[in-house]
Structure 1
Amino acid sequence: MEAPDTPAPPSSGPYRVLARKYRPQTFAELIGQDAMVRTLGNSIARDRLAHAFLMTGVRGVGKTSTARLIAKALNCIGPDGQGGPTIDPCGVCEPCRAITEGRHIDVIEMDAASNTGVDDVREIIEAVRYAAVSARYKIYIIDEVHMLSRNAFNALLKTLEEPPPHVKFLFATTEVNKVPVTVLSRCQRFDLRRITPDMLFSHFSSILQKEGIEAEAPAIWLIANAAEGSVRDGLSILDQAIAHADLDGGGKIGADQVRVMLGLSDRTSIAQLMTTILDGDSAAAIDLARAQYALGIEPVAMVRGLMDLTHAVTLAKVSRHDDPALAEADRERIGDWAQKLGFAPLNRLWQLLLKGHDEVLRANNPLEHLEMLLLRVIYAASMPDPGELAKLLESGRVPTMPLAAPPASAGQETAAAAAVAEAAPATELPATSLTIAQIHQLLESSGNHRLAVQVHDHLRVIELEPGQLVFAAVPALSATFPRDLGDALLAATGSRWNVRAGEGDARPSLGEMRAATAADNEARIRELPVVKAALAAFPDASLEDPADNRHKSNP
């Protein structure tokens, strides 16, 4: 009788993370390091093996894995036990299996981070004198070799330069600049490359297929980009994404889930935030930032999202942007911005975000710093870049920034009233409702420039009512000033005015108010980054108001 079919029982062994489960076992499985594999293959084929190898590169690109593969390649004896060193170790002979399992007596792995002293190196120096027990070569794999002390490096130098023929040294480090030059000169160095997102995407897709797990392509691209060239980092993120996947949806890994898991801002929200910045809508920008913060998105992640979007738009202008993780709507939006924005504003936006990123990252209250950064970016969007400002300074045409006017005091004449007076003819002004600004304009338009200058620069009004003007006496106003001004007003309006000096609180003159406003504007303009840069480049330059020059030129 045949036994009934029953499902295989689940494995009772401990779970192995993907980074360990899919560690390369052959050079063919080592992705992204073709140049190194070719060099090693030619060296083995020509029997020109160095006595020391140094693998360097960022974390997770395969330095330690490469060292173990070299150990297997040098000690492999083939399935029949008659083979020699090969770039394609069989993986079935006893040396290959023992090295893979980490139990070969002649392959010694040492962590330099926990064995930093000269005594640890002295043990190696003593042991290299003895031949290998069962392998072709005795191999020392020293990980994070830059952690060795200076004395330890010095003790190793002589043995490293002239080791016995049966000994090979394999070093791995992420910080090759900390390894002494005397050690580097005695090693054959291999710089392992960062793995490109395309390679990581293919590698992760293959692993997911082997694991029987479905994933959206944009989700895999997000993981590949987040890995930053490290296979191990990417596999760790992939492990987390598998655990994070919604079991109700069949365990499929979605892009939105990966984005939430990685703490990335939603692309649509970042695009909306960028839109408010470009439109100059500060209130909407702050509301969007606060809404994202309430959803758990860190302010620094929002800044990074804006930087990524700025970078994407800039690359799109030169037709060099190709992100497979983007949806079609995002591609169209980036392309539209690339057509509308120039390189100068994009570069200015990038510099502001780059500086703000560090500020938000170090801030005690990141949300407040993010809000101030958004306001700074929106305000600076209308500013000329340093190059344009330098040209304006050279030509003497420095623009006046549209800064907010200071609060008006009781009875203070505003710039708007002066603008109205300039726009309206003198004959249309009612004689019983004049302001000081309008009186000044009446005198200018009637050709009485001397009296107009006195009113603008020195007339401090105490009381101004229809047909009466009381002012504070100052030495700059002559004894005949009241009579002269009364006669001029009679001629301009057809009504008699009582103009006299008096006592009491007087308002500043038009000239004093203009000077105070100009000084406040100039102080704020000088604090702008682009203005600071321009004044630093042109120390002799100054900020001037064309209106001041006009009044000074009047007789």
Structure 2
Amino acid sequence: MSYQVLARKYRPKSFETLVGQEHVVRALTHALEQQRLHHAYLFTGTRGVGKTTLSRILAKSFNCEKGITSTPCGVCDACTAIDAGRFVDYIEMDAASNRGVDEMASLLEQAIYAPSNARFKVYMIDEVHMLTNHAFNAMLKTLEEPPEHVKFILATTDPQKIPVTVLSRCLQFNLKQMPPGHIVGHLENILGQELIEFEQPALRLLAQGAHGSMRDALSLTDQAIAYAAGKVSLDAVQGMLGALDQSYLIRLLDALAVNDGKALLEVADEMATRSLSYKAALQDLGTLIHQIAIAQMVPSAVGDDLPEREHVLRLATVFAKEEIQLFYQIAVHGRNELSLAPDEYAGFSMTLLRMLAFRPIEGGALSSLGGGDGGSSGQTFNRASSSPPSAAATPARSSNSPSSAALSVTNVAKAAVAPAMPAAAVAQRAPAAPEVSSKPMSPAMAALAAARAASAASGKNVHGKPAAAAPVAESAAAPMPVAPAPVPALAKPESAASAPLLAEKKASPAPLQTAVERDLRRSPSMPEMEPVGMDDMPPPWDEALFESPQSNVAPSRALEPVPMQVEAPPAVEEMKAPEPVVVDRTLWHGPVVELGWDGNWPDLAASLPLRGVAQQLAQQSELIHCKQEGNQFIFDLRVPLATLLSAGSVDKLCAALSERFSKNIRIETKIGAVELTANAKAIADREVRQKHAEQAIQQDSFVQTLMREFGAVIVTGSVRPV
């Protein structure tokens, strides 16, 4: 007898031996036990997950000689014939090669005849999504109401290409991909029956290479048996699959733990020497980092059969949780960007260097690669000891930023009268950021603060006198913004006698101070500022030179000091909020006897035979009043948009109303917000009908049975009222 491959030899022949599809087995078993047989079944899933196997088991359950059962005997003529593929009434059709309407018509013509020696005639259509649209349309009627002796079983790997008209006629079961643990257990059972030696890590590697397909796993196992001459070993499987030795990845993470950039590049060079795939290396690195993250968060979830279990648990204690999450993200993005790199070596090594460069260390700084012989220190980021940077460590704002000019006048005055600080204290306080007032500052106050700061920095006060030593500490702690240009004064006629005096005034900073004080009196933002009195200004105050704008004295008298008067902010009680605008919402209610109309404008507007803009005008307007003047009736309408009154829409609405009532109708319009319209009423009615439809489908007994027994769910938004 010729050799039979493992995938065919060990194909499951009953629901009990099927692996990894418990949810489907449970639903089909209950349906068979309760004799709730559907006429069409649809199995979806990737290749090698058991679609054809399930269809054969289901066909045996239908036609077993002991009756319809969930446990076919497997020894009767029907069961053995179905397993051998020679049962007359079980027809398997490949839709990829029989996809036309003629093949489907021929199949449906034979479906009307009773089965030869079976209870049901079962049609299994594989890769049904390959059928043409005409073929789908040809089978719709038979698929919806087939003869009692016909059962359809459809299988596909791409259910998105199947029309919804076909999906709605079938019971759909989604087959999941096989977990690696299920594949490893199944391979152990098969190799034990075949008396073939194996290594557990080799089976896990085969399960990973199968990517969820049991048939692929068995095919790879056949190949591994032939490759290793009868023994499935880890080295043989790695050589056959071209898999990466995990020791390279562990060495990479060990070098990353001590910030050794030279060791990282050495491992990358060794991989290049052996021509290993860098894309596969990044994929396996992401898997290894994922296992380390599981070991950190849920240590009990790490399997005992994991080959690298000891290294995974050790690395989980070396790295912080934040670092592992960062490394995983870098590895995933590095694999996606590998095709964009100049070459695979550059992309792989750049990903490793990125992990090294962005690895956080103690204090929140970033580690550096160093000179290649050891990199930087090996201090790692400790989550328990990490904290947000304090305010003292925050860098000071630039002096030319907008917020740096908003220093409060109170802080400047305190700095002016503060006692002198020792040099050590000044140096110690220098890095601190300047205190910024939370209140907004008017341009005039900002200019005044800038002028005082500039004068203090130059060693003189705003009056040209030597300044005290106290403001030095404040100026050293935070540089003040540069003073803006002086406000130009109004032009005045100058006489020859007053020219020297005016020149002396222009040379001093007093005109700037005077202009600023004028702005302070007019500034609208003064109610939000703290009043500045005579005591707040730096001494000596009695020598200040202010020019009074109301002064009419001679120029020699204009140099007398004038006390600054600051107007008090207005009382809060005087600032009244604007009264709300009252909108007239009076609408028409009641019948119009002369027109024989009940007065319901939304229903009337919806029933008028209008189209286009005129229809929108009728349905989006509301009736304010309806009155009669002589033999003419006036409809006063409120319209939300002026554009609805264009294109002769008012005349068309008038004509429709005149034809409706056989009276002379005139329409008057005004623009405003509307509420009681035909459009609003239609939206409200639709919402009510939608709510009733959703409640009806939720309370339906058949739908509740499907949800309870088969795990069905109602797709949100799919319910529509009829």
1:278–1:381 Cα contact (<8 Å) kept: no
Rounded to whole Å, the distance in 2 between the matches of 1:62 and 1:393 is: 61
Whether 1:50 and 2:38 are equivalent positions in the alignment is: yes
RMSD of the alignment, in Å?
A: 3.2
Whether 1:170 aligns to 2:153 is: yes
**Relative to structure 1, is the Cα distance of residues 76 and 393 closer, same or farther in structure 2, using a 3 angstrom cutoff?**
farther
Paired residue for 1:85? 68
Q: Does residue 1:282 correspond to 2:270, yes or no? A: no
Instruction: Decide which moves more: 33-42 or 22-31.
Output: 33-42
**Shift in Å at residue 161 of structure 1?**
0.7
Deviation for aligned residue 1:17: 1.6
Correspondence list, 1:227-242, <5 A: 227-242=210-225
SS in 2 for 1:68: helix
Q: Are 1:217 and 2:200 counterparts?
A: yes
The 3-state SS of whatever aligns with 2:211 is coil
**Mapped pair 1:29 → 2:17:** yes
Residue 500 of structure 1 is matched in structure 2 by: none
- What are the Cα deviations for residues 493-533 of structure 1, in whole angstroms up to 9, with x where unaligned? xxxxxxxxxxxxxxxxxxxxxxxxxxxxxxxxxxxxxxxxx
Of residues 293, 300, 307, the one that matches 1:314 is 293
Quote the offset at 1:18 in angstroms. 0.9
Cα deviation 1:350-396 (Å, max 9, x = unaligned)? 1111111122257673222212222222222248699x999779999
1:203-225 alpha-carbon deviations (Å, 9 max, x no partner): 11111011110111222222233
Which position in structure 2 is the counterpart of 1:105?
Answer: 88
CA distance in 2, matches of 1:171, 1:41: 18
Change beyond 3 A, Cα 1:168–1:362: farther
Tell me the distance in 2 between the aligned counterparts of 1:304 and 1:160. 45
Question: How many pairs does the alignment contain?
Answer: 385
Q: 2:274 aligns with which of 287, 295, 298?
A: 295
Q: Given the alignment of the two structures, is residue 335 of structure 1 paired with residue 313 of structure 2, yes or no?
A: yes
In 2, the alpha carbon distance for the partners of 1:364 and 1:131 equals 67
Distance 1:129 1:395 in 2: 88
Contact 2:257 2:319 in 1 (8 A): no
The amino acid that maps onto 1:154 is: N
1:348 corresponds to 2:336: no
Distance change in 2, residues 1:385/1:141 (3 Å):
farther
Return the alpha-carbon distance in structure 2 between the equivalents of residues 394 and 66 of structure 1: 67
Q: Indicate the residue corresponding to 1:134 in structure 2.
A: 117
Change beyond 3 A, Cα 1:91–1:362: farther
Q: 1:395 to 1:236 in 2, by over 3 A?
A: farther
Counterpart CA distance in 1 for 2:392 and 2:55 is 65
Task: Tell me if 1:326 matches 2:276.
Answer: no
Judging changes above 3 Å, is the alpha-carbon distance between structure 1 residues 398 and 64 closer, same or farther for their aligned structure 2 residues? farther
CA spacing shift, 1:114–1:36, aligned 2, 3 Å: same
Do residues 365 (structure 1) and 348 (structure 2) align? no
2:227 pairs with 1:244: yes
* C-alpha distance 227-553 of structure 1, shift in aligned 2 (>3 A): same
1:150 corresponds to which of 121, 126, 133 = 133
One-letter identity of the residue aligned with 1:71: A
Quote the residue 2:249 is aligned against: 270
Mapped to 2, the partners of 1:288 and 1:55 lie a distance apart of 47
Q: Partners of 1:142 and 1:195 in 2: how far apart?
A: 23
Change (3 A) 1:385 1:232: farther
What is the letter of the counterpart of residue 338 of structure 1?
A
Cα shift readout 1:428-461 (whole Å, capped 9, x = no counterpart):
xxxxxxxxxxxxxxxx99x9xxxxxxxxxxxxxx
- The letter of the residue matching 2:123 is Y
Is the 8 Å Cα contact of residues 265 and 302 (structure 1) preserved in structure 2? yes
Task: Return the TM-score normalized by structure 2.
Answer: 0.49
- Distance 1:50-1:280 versus aligned 2 partners, 3 A rule: same
| Correspondence for 1:18 among 6, 10, 13 | 6
Distance 1:146 1:316 in 2: 43
**1:166 Cα shift?**
0.8
- 1:376 counterpart (338, 344, 354): 354
CA drift of 1:55 comes to 1.1
| Contact 1:221–1:325, Cα closer than 8 Å, also in 2 | no
Q: Do the aligned partners of residues 554 and 52 (structure 1) sit closer, same or farther apart at CA in structure 2, a change above 3 Å counting?
A: closer
Indicate the SS of the match to 1:103: coil
Is 1:261 aligned to 2:249, yes or no?
no
Deviation at 1:553, TM superposition (A): 6.8
Structure 1 residues 176, 397: closer, same or farther in 2, change over 3 A? Answer: farther
Aligned partners of 2:318 and 2:31: how far apart in 1?
A: 55
Distance change >3 Å, CA 43–CA 377, structure 1 → 2:
same
CA 1:200 to 1:398, structure 2 compared with 1: closer, same or farther past 3 Å?
A: farther
CA contact (8 A) 1:219 1:325 kept: no
- Give, in angstroms, the shift of residue 20 of structure 1: 1.2
Using the alignment, how far apart are the partners of 2:112 and 2:127 within structure 1?
Answer: 24
Measured in 2, the distance between the counterparts of 1:219 and 1:183 equals 43
Which structure has more relative contact order (CA 8 Å, sep 6+)? It is 1
Q: Is the 8 A contact 2:257 2:318 kept in 1?
A: no
1:191 aligns with 2:169: no
**Is the CA contact 2:282–2:331 (under 8 Å) kept in the aligned structure 1?**
yes
1:371 to 1:104, Cα distance in 2 relative to 1, 3 A:
same
The one-letter amino acid paired with 1:377 is M
The structure that is helix-richer by fraction is 1
Alpha-carbon distance between aligned partners in 1 of 2:269 and 2:161, rounded to the nearest angstrom: 44
- Partner amino acid, structure 2, of 1:24: P
Aligned: 1:201 with 2:184: yes
Residues in 1 aligned to 2:365 and 2:169: alpha-carbon distance in whole angstroms? 52
In structure 2, how many angstroms separate the alpha carbons of the residues matched to 1:237 and 1:39? 31
3-state SS in 1 of match to 2:280: helix
* Residues 162 and 398 of structure 1: CA distance in aligned 2, closer, same or farther (over 3 Å): farther
> TM-score scaled to structure 1, two decimals?
0.63
Structure 2 SS opposite 1:29: coil
Residue 124 of structure 2 aligns to a residue whose secondary structure is strand
Distance of 1:25 and 1:182 partners within structure 2:
32
Determine if contact 1:218/1:324 at 8 Å carries over to the other structure: no
